[in-house]
A = this chain, B = another copy of it.
Amino acid sequence: MGKSSLEDDMRYLLDRIEIQDVLARYAAGQDNHQDADRGVLIEWDQVFTSDAIVDFTQAGPGFGKFSYRDLAAVMRGEGNSPGLMNGAFQKWQHMLGLPLVSIDGDSATSRIDLLATHVGRTNANTPWHLFDACIFRDELVRTEHGWRIKYRRLEVNYVEVIETIQHKHTVQALIG
């Protein structure tokens, strides 16, 4: 293994971990801000390029192909308008699988699984649990601030709704 190869390998590994961190930061942005906390942009401004496009068309009516700031507004609300997540849900989690990443110089593509779960109440006041099984297909670019997503497409495998017995915040509440 030559010296330049060692440095190339190092660049590759640093790129891989940095790209993984960008993907993780998106999910952390969602989950560090629950309920009426709208602060997802604190993390997302470090995830996307300023002109990034996210195609969330498959998420249904209200979503589209727009900027990541539009996505934050649709999900979390803006000004006096509540977001879609605020109306129906109180809590959520965005679990990520293991990414497959292909790097070509200062560009990269990535594929990663997302299992997004949400709990809340329907209009009929039934407690519910929503499962979104999705794939993110991303294009990333190396910027002066590190790797950023410049294009993200959401593919929805399924959206599934489960009526729950109850929302409990401790195990003991059910078994006690």
What is the interface of chain A, defined by CB distance below 8 A to chain B?
1, 6-7, 9-10, 13-14, 16-17, 20-21, 23-25, 27-28, 31-32, 34, 59-62, 84, 87-88, 90-100, 111, 113, 115, 117, 119, 122-123, 128-131, 133, 135, 156-175
- Known A-B contacts A98-B27, A99-B24; the reply to A159 vs B164 at CB < 8 A is no
Q: List 18 A-B contacts (CB under 8 A).
A: A10-B10, A10-B13, A16-B17, A21-B100, A27-B97, A59-B171, A90-B158, A93-B115, A93-B133, A94-B97, A96-B98, A119-B160, A129-B162, A130-B171, A160-B164, A161-B174, A162-B164, A163-B164
A-side interface mostly: mixed
State the CA gap A29–B42 with chains docked (Å). 34
State the CA gap A16–B94 with chains docked (Å). 22
Question: What's the least CB distance linking A115 to chain B, in Å?
Answer: 5
Q: Which residues of B contact A92 (CB under 8 A)?
A: 133, 157-158
Known: A61-B172, A98-B99, A130-B174. 9 other contacts (CB 8 A): A31-B135, A88-B171, A91-B157, A95-B113, A95-B115, A96-B98, A115-B117, A160-B167, A161-B164
Question: What's the least CB distance linking A77 to chain B, in Å?
Answer: 15
